[in-house]
Amino acid sequence: SQQGEEDPQALSIQEGENATMNCSYKTSINNLQWYRQNSGRGLVHLILIRSNEREKHSGRLRVTLDTSKKSSSLLITASRAADTASYFCATDFTGANNLFFGTGTRLTVIP
Amino acid sequence: EAGVAQSPRYKIIEKRQSVAFWCNPISGHATLYWYQQILGQGPKLLIQFQNNGVVDDSQLPKDRFSAERLKGVDSTLKIQPAKLEDSAVYLCASSLERRGHTQYFGPGTRLTVL
């Protein structure tokens, strides 16, 4: 399978804590993207990191990419109840026509 | 700017019936995608259009699924006949170009096949 795999499958934290999710993949990528999906809604793009980048920030989000380990992590700092959602990594593999989505991490932030 | 529009939002049909979904992408977006998302899984690409041409339909069950994008704008996805395992959310997305670009998703159509 070319899709990325997120870890953990589910995560429950208290509001204000940080949440970290990981994504591992198997082949070379052009870029890796993170998306959020609230229950019953479509996916929303969060951040894109290219294969020659190691870290990117966007507000309370921090994404890292380690191409030698074929892994990425998404850190959400100072979490809020509104961050409760499923988070997916999507990999743009070299030579592929499209993105491959993982199975997601279900994040629950308890107020 | 308006987002990706999809209709209907919900559809319940019996197996062996047919169903069609409609998608209107963001204006100016050349690439349009249809994904199937089964409960508890990530989206799986069914078909990708670049303007009105098919780029990738390798995951589309062509014996029952069909899709078209006339005039390179709106698109329809059809299932005929539906099976129980087709119960899923069908997501439409669009992007400016194929590679390295953010995909913008519509709200999806939740299909239940009884």
- What is the per-residue pLDDT across A99-110, written as a single tens digit (0 to 9) for each? 899 999 999 999
% of chain B at pLDDT higher than 70? 96
Q: In the predicted model, is pLDDT for residue B78 greater than 80?
A: yes
The pLDDT of residue A98: 82
**Mutate: best of A33, A63, A89, A99, partner B, most B CBs <10 A:** A99
pLDDT digit string (tens) for B20-56?
Answer: 999 999 999 999 999 999 998 999 999 999 988 999 9
From the list A42, A100, A103, which residue is nearest B91 (CB)? A42
Q: Which residues contact A9 (CB under 8 A, 6 or more apart)?
A: A103, A104, A105, A106
Non-local (6+) Cβ contacts of B66 within 8 A are B77, B78, B80
Q: Is B104 on the interface with A (CB under 8 A)?
A: yes
* Banded model confidence at residue A1, pLDDT cuts 50, 70, 90: low
Residue B91, chain A, CB below 8 Å: the answer is yes
Cα–Cα distance between A109 and A101 in angstroms, integer? 23
Q: How many CB pairs under 8 A join A and B?
A: 57
3-class secondary structure, A69 = coil
Cβ contact B69:B62 at 8 Å? no
State which H helix or E strand residue B57 sits in: none
